[in-house]
Chain A
C-alpha cells in the first residue's frame, strides 16, 4: 500500500536553494506531477514507494535537475533520456539498483501556451510522471509492456482536461 504524503509538510526549498544561480531561478517555473488513474491511485508514486531508498532518491534528484534545467539543456546527469520509436514523446529516467536491476520512470513534458496550460489545470509547464517499471539486467521491455503500463496511461493523461493528477 503506498504511503500518502501528509499535507502539513513544507515543500523542499532545499532543492532550488542548493542549485547554482541560473538553475535556482528556473526551478520556480516548472512543476512535477504524478498521473492518477480512474481510481485516484498514482502508479508512479506507488512505483517510487516500492523502490529501494537509493533508487527513489536518485529518481527524485534527476527529476529535480530536469525541473531546474529542462531540455534542450543537458540535465539529469545522463540519467534522463528522450525515448524513440513507439515511445516517442516520452522521457525515461534510468537508474540501476541492487542486483543490477534496471529501474525506469516514464515521463511526459506537458508544455503549452498559458491558455492551454490553464485548461489543463496548470499555471506552469509540468513534468508529468506516468509510471515506472523494473527489469533484470540485460532484459528488454516488450512493446506490449510499454503500451499497457505506459502509453495507455499517458494517452489517458493527455486526453483529459483538466489533467488527471494526484493532488
Chain B
C-alpha cells in the first residue's frame, strides 16, 4: 500500500479575479491588454509557423541560417526565446494600421527552397 500525504485544494482564482477587476475598472489597462494580446498572438504565430516550416523542410536552425547567410545564433534567438525587436515593431505597426502580418506557405516548391533543402 502506498502512503499518500493528505491534500488541501487551494483556491487558484486570485489572478483571474485580479485580471477581471483590472479589465473592468481601468480602460487604459484594458486597451493595452487587448493590444498586447494581438501583438503577442501575431508574433507567436509567425515564429511558431516559421519553425514548423523549418521542421517540415527537415532543416536544422543552423542549416536555415546558412541558407539565408545569417549567423546561426540569430536564427536560434528568433525561433527559441528572445524574439526579435524588428518583428515586434512590424507587428505593432500593422496592428496600428488595422492589419495583420501573416506567413503564407507557397503551394509549390521553388528553386530557392530546394537549394535550402540541399544544404541539409
Contacts and interface: CB of A to CB of B under 8 A. Distances in A.
B101 interface: no
B37 A61 contact: yes
Contact of A53 (B4, B28, B79): B28
Contacts of B26: 53
A113 B37 CA distance: 30
B10 A5 contact: no
Given A57-B33, A167-B14, A74 B79 contact: yes
Q: Please classify the interface of chain B as helix (H, G, I), strand (E, B), loop, or mixed, using the class held by over half of its residues.
A: helix
Contacts of A9: 17, 20-21, 24
B37 A64 contact: yes
A119 B81 contact: no
Nearest to B47: A74
B20 to A, nearest CB: 4
A12 B10 contact: no
A122 B48 CA distance: 30
A11 B23 CA distance: 11
Interface string B13-30: 111111111111010111
Contacts of A118: 7
Contacts of B87: 78
Contact of B88 (A78, A123, A165): A78
16 contacts: A6-B17, A14-B23, A15-B19, A18-B34, A64-B37, A65-B37, A74-B47, A76-B44, A77-B83, A77-B88, A78-B87, A118-B7, A119-B4, A119-B7, A123-B9, A165-B14
Interface of A: 5-7, 9-12, 14-15, 18-20, 23, 31-34, 42, 45, 48, 53-54, 56-58, 60-65, 69, 73-79, 81-82, 115, 118-119, 121-123, 126, 129, 161-163, 165-167
Given A61-B36, A167-B12, 16 more contacts: A9-B17, A10-B20, A11-B16, A20-B41, A57-B22, A58-B32, A73-B48, A74-B81, A76-B44, A77-B36, A78-B88, A81-B81, A118-B7, A119-B7, A122-B9, A162-B10
